[in-house]
Amino acid sequence: KQEVTQIPAALSVPEGENLVLNCSFTDSAIYNLQWFRQDPGKGLTSLLLIQSSQREQTSGRLNASLDKSSGRSTLYIAASQPGDSATYLCAVTNRDDKIIFGKGTRLHILP
């Protein structure tokens, strides 16, 4: 059974710092891995999608890596801003077509 774990559960960093969010999964037989952002009480915004054959994806200040063999992904946020404060969710798409989510990392950027 696929399990997705995100560490840390919560993180506070001063504005301007670079930071890394971690995600691990137990079954490497995945189609892809996605990172989402969720603001309080809102839906999900897809940030980056990495196909299983890819190693990383970049969008602006965000960079996501995927090491399928070790079951790990990281989301790197450069030059953090207060507007980056949100919950970040990692999710993998299994070979049985299901998406399994982690519980998320609550990020707070201190002005």
Give yes or no for a contact between 86 and 37, defined as CB atoms under 8 angstroms apart.
Answer: yes
CA-wise closest residue to 35 among 8, 70, 6, 69 = 6
Q: Which is nearer to other proteins, 15 or 54 (CB)?
A: 54
- The CB-of-94 to other proteins minimum distance in angstroms stands at 8
Whole-number CA gyration radius for the chain: 13
- The CB-of-16 to other proteins minimum distance in angstroms stands at 28
Angle, alpha carbons 72-7-38 (nearest 5°):
95
Site residues for other proteins per CB under 8 A:
4, 31-32, 34, 36, 41-46, 49, 51-52, 89, 91, 93, 95, 97-104
Q: Which is nearer to other proteins, 83 or 96 (CB)?
A: 96
